[in-house]
Amino acid sequence: MNLLPTPAVSEILAASLAPVTLITGVAFLTSIMAPRFGRCIDRVRVLRNEIGPLLEAGSTCRSQLEQLEILYRRMRRLQLTMTAAGICILFVVLTITSTFGNLFLGFPGPGLTLISFVLALCALVALTVGFTHDFLTSLSAVELEIEEALKNAPSAAAEKILSKDPILSLFRGRQSLTQIKE
Q: What is the pLDDT of residues 16-57, one digit of tens each?
A: 788 888 899 999 999 999 999 999 999 899 988 888 888 888
Predicted TM-score (pTM) of this structure: 0.70
Domain count, the chain: 2
Q: Is 160 exposed, middle or buried (0-12, 13-18, 19+ CB in 10 A)?
A: exposed
Largest separation between any pair of C-alpha atoms in the chain: 84
Q: What is the pLDDT of residues 117-171, one digit of tens each?
A: 899 999 999 999 999 988 888 877 777 777 777 776 666 666 665 566 655 555 5
- In this structure, is residue 159 part of a structural domain? yes
> Domain containing 79: what range?
6-138
Q: Do 10 and 40 belong to one domain?
A: yes
Q: Do 132 and 146 belong to one domain?
A: no
Q: How many residues does this entry show for the chain? A: 182
Q: Do 150 and 78 belong to one domain?
A: no
Q: Could you give the angle at which helices 111-137 and 6-56 cross, rounded to 10 degrees? A: 30
H helix runs in 60-176, sequence order: 62-100, 111-137, 140-152, 155-164
106 contacts 98 by C-beta, under 8 angstroms: no
Q: Do 57 and 121 belong to one domain?
A: yes
Checking phi first, is residue 59 left (phi over 0); if not, alpha (psi -120 to 50) or beta?
Answer: beta
161 contacts 153 by C-beta, under 8 angstroms: yes
Q: What was the pLDDT predicted at 180? A: 45
Q: Do 60 and 92 belong to one domain?
A: yes
pLDDT band at 96 (very low <50, low <70, confident <90, very high): confident
155 contacts 148 by C-beta, under 8 angstroms: no
142 contacts 40 by C-beta, under 8 angstroms: no
